Amino acid sequence: MSSIRVLVVDDSALMRKLIPQMIEHDPALHVVGTAMDGEFALKKIPELRPDVVTLDMEMPRMDGMETLKQIVRHHPALPVVVVSAHTTEGASQTFKALSLGALDFIAKPHDALSGNMDAIGQDLINKLKAAAMRRVVQPVRPMFGGARAARKQRVERTAAARVLAIGASTGGPNAVEYVLSQLPENFPAAILIVQHMPVGFTDMFARRLDEACAIDVKEAVAGDLMVAGRALICPGDRHMKVRRMPLGNVVVLNDDERVNGHRPSVDVLFGSVAEEFGPFALGLLMTGMGEDGADGLGRIKKAGGFTVAQDEESSVVYGMPRVATERGYATRVMGLAEMPQYLISYFSESLKVVTEQV
């Protein structure tokens, strides 16, 4: 198998040295060139024919955002992994880049300019490999557009008898945004989400979703109540579990060891949801590399809950849902476009059953 060809684009001479050194620790990857800004990168792409590009956002002449737009326009099959500053502005730029077509991102450590990049080395390697294997999927657009978020009104939230647990990784930010943006403000279940993402980015992700959705979305805080029509995003570098309490169901955060190499881990959330909610839970495993969440989806199914895996055609990286499907843990496999209406119908019917039983 030929090695994966990588073009590194960064205005820092130090980063153009350190990033290739990290990448070439893996024999499956080969850095075919570097570029100090977007203009040089666009000239080198036809010459070097990379399989994937790492792209810094802050560069002179042509910055990363404009470079990304040009790559998407002229080289739509070429995946881009953004190398982001670990700042609020960096997070904002990163999510804009993901919405424009970047596949994934890696956050530079705060002391990156001192050469301390080892902490992100394996993560970068994994994401470059996933990028090289990614599927080019047709983007799915929300039915309601931006006008819906502008009409958003805060409503009083009530305790939820049912829970929707979602796990996602590579390709997940856009996929999760699409699904949540289609849910009505009175969605009858509590929503819990683990998206593989570093600390400092999950709060910005939650804010972005809250602006785009009729439901409420926030980064989870330990002790948050699980209420209908609100989604809680697990913070970066924490695990999230659930606990049923007499005065209301709550989320619990902890700093336990990584699971499947991840913190947050989808398996941790799904396993806890299975234990606490069983038949009153629906687990949804979406696009992403690896197998985190597959066994947890199996635990939800075994506990009597309903399980859904995203299909191959709509997954940017068909890893996590593929493993779950192959192990027989997915009750249903469906495309991204089908999910919102299916979830609305499923939980509406579930609510009718609960009401009738009462």
d(C-alpha 224, C-alpha 213), whole Å: 20
Tell me the C-alpha distance between 46 and 143, whole Å.
37
Is-catalytic flag, 196? Answer: yes
Whole-angstrom distance, CA of residue 263 vs CA of residue 284: 18
Catalytic-labelled residue, pool 37, 104, 292, 311: 292
Q: If you write DSSP's letter for every residue of 322-349 in order, what string do you get?
A: HHHHHTT--SEEE-GGGHHHHHHHHHHH
Contact assessment for residue 155 and residue 96, using Cβ atoms and an 8 Å cutoff: no
From the list 11, 37, 181, 196, the catalytic residue is 196
For residue 241, the number of C-alpha atoms closer than 13 Å in the C-beta half-sphere is 13
What are residue 332's phi and psi, to 5 degrees? -135, 145
Length of the chain: 358
To the query of whether residue 123 is one of the catalytic residues in this protein, the response is no
Give yes or no: 37 in active site. Answer: no
Shortest CA distance to 10 belongs to which of 31, 47, 41, 32? 41
User: Which residue has tokens 């008898």?
Assistant: 161
Of the listed 169, 181, 272, 315, which one is catalytic?
A: 169
- How many angstroms separate the Cα of 145 from the Cα of each of 142, 148, 154, 215? 6, 6, 19, 14
3-class state of residue 219 by DSSP: strand
Using DSSP, state whether 241 is helix, strand or coil: strand
- Which residues carry out catalysis? 169, 196, 292
